[in-house]
Amino acid sequence: MEHASLLDIANTYGAPLYVYDAEKIASQYQRLTDAFNGVEQLRLNYACKALSNLGILRLMNSLGSGLDTVSIQEVRLGLLAGFKPESIIYTPNGVSLEEIEEAAALGVQINIDNLSVLEQFGSKHPDIPVCIRINPHVMAGGNSNISVGHIDSKFGISIHQIPHLLRIVELTKMNINGIHMHTGSDILDIDVFLYASEILFETAKNFKSLQFIDFGSGFKVPYKEGDIETNVEELGKKLTKRFNAFCKEYGRPLTLAFEPGKFLVSEAGYFLAKVNVVKQTTSTVFASVDSGFNHLIRPMLYGSNHEILNISNPKGRERYYSVVGYICETDTFGSNRRINEIKEGDVLAFRNAGAYCFTMASNYNSRYRPAEVLWHKGKAHLIRERETFDDILRNQVDISAVFEEKKPAVVTK
């Protein structure tokens, strides 16, 4: 998006504000589709935990995407956005059997990642198709906080527990129609991912009625100029060849599934914040914005690097700034960044703000969560209103009467 368009949107809807470029989302979806065009049956299930606004979900549905969900609430959002139940896969972790049964009753694809629930669900509902999430014990991502395929992960059924898994399936006579894995985010080493895929193929041979194999996602996107990213085109060529060979060995075509989240929406997102104060100390120039980790926590939580642009003065002389927030905690977005000269009142744009940004926002310090806008075909569409004080109070219960009881009189002598 052009800086001028972002600045116009900020002037119209105020800041702080999230803006998403629909054209970029569509191009990322097409890029991934093209990378695997040699597969007979491909299914991309958007991981909506990355960005779950109904406007975004409706956009994904219009592109032909399925939906990857991790909670019953996300399932309901998907249905409300127009996804058919059969195009939604539900992959929770550590939830109750009751929630899984609630999702199953809505007709979505169930994906189970532990033996205890698998046995309970299979015993009660042997006819409902179930996908099984495997932990391949392969850490394909580059960050231990977001890699979930390692041996000490809480996610998935260990490959060393396959004999136990098969015994449960045999005893319950349950219907296993899919095999799934997710090794983590920020995948750079394609060979490591392909190695994990071989483990999934080997596991799949144990099940004769599969309809799909889901390889998760975790494709890395660039966060700054010259940054490295997952080469999805190379992965597409190599995995397509291997997948087609496996289908031939299996005896019939299967669906190749992915669940991209960050890959589809990260680069499409911009977070806009206004500069409240420019503060010079003995060693640092701080640019303090009208936001904090209540709106964008990833730099503090994961150490993520979001490029920061001064869209109010894009041609100004570059200086070094530490961009910080207004929260009563240390909330540094970036230290000693080279940014075009900043004045109080300027609007800064944080790039790569489409994934795991608004969805992780909070009301910490009783601050309002920001508005969201979708930029679609050259027009800005408000898809979430800015919160108000009424939203802060909405679910709080007034117990003022409890404190209005008369206090006993003070007796003086």
In the chain, where the domains are located:
22-265, 269-388
Give yes or no on whether 22-265 and 269-388 have one common fold: no
Nearest-CA neighbor of 265 among 85, 87, 53?
A: 53
Enter the CATH code of domain 22-265: 3.20.20.10
User: Going by DSSP bridges, is the β-strand pair 42-47/17-21 parallel, antiparallel, or unpaired?
Assistant: unpaired
Q: Catalytic: which of 48, 131, 328, 357?
A: 328
Q: Is the peptide bond before 16 cis (omega within 30 degrees of 0)?
A: yes
Nearest-CA neighbor of 149 among 186, 101, 107, 102?
A: 186
Contact 219, 142 (CB under 8 A): no
What is the CA angle 374-378-382, rounded to 5? Answer: 30
Nearest-CA neighbor of 231 among 215, 223, 220, 240?
A: 220
Burial class of residue 293 (count of CB atoms within 10 Å of its CB; 0-12, 13-18, 19+): buried
Nearest-CA neighbor of 147 among 92, 187, 197, 120?
A: 187
Q: Going residue by residue through the chain (413 aa), what tens digit of pLDDT does each one get?
A: 788 899 999 999 999 999 999 999 999 999 999 999 999 999 999 999 999 999 999 999 999 999 999 999 999 999 999 999 999 999 999 999 999 999 999 999 999 999 999 999 999 999 999 999 999 988 655 544 444 444 567 889 999 999 999 999 999 999 999 999 987 667 778 888 899 999 999 999 999 999 999 999 889 898 888 888 899 999 999 999 999 999 999 999 999 999 999 999 999 999 999 999 999 999 999 999 999 999 999 999 989 999 999 999 999 999 999 999 999 998 999 999 999 999 999 999 999 999 999 999 999 999 999 999 999 999 999 999 999 999 999 999 999 988 887 666 666 66
User: 349-369: string of b/e by CB count within 10 Å (b at 16+)?
Assistant: bbbbbbbbbbeebeeeeebbb
How far is the C-alpha of 274 from the C-alpha of 293, rounded, in Å?
15
DSSP string, 123-134: HH-TTS-EEEEE
Is 328 part of the annotated catalytic residue set?
yes
> What is the number of residues in the chain?
413
How far is the C-alpha of 371 from the C-alpha of 273, rounded, in Å?
12
How far is the C-alpha of 61 from the C-alpha of 67, rounded, in Å?
8
CATH superfamily of 269-388: Lyase, Ornithine Decarboxylase; Chain A, domain 1 (2.40.37.10)
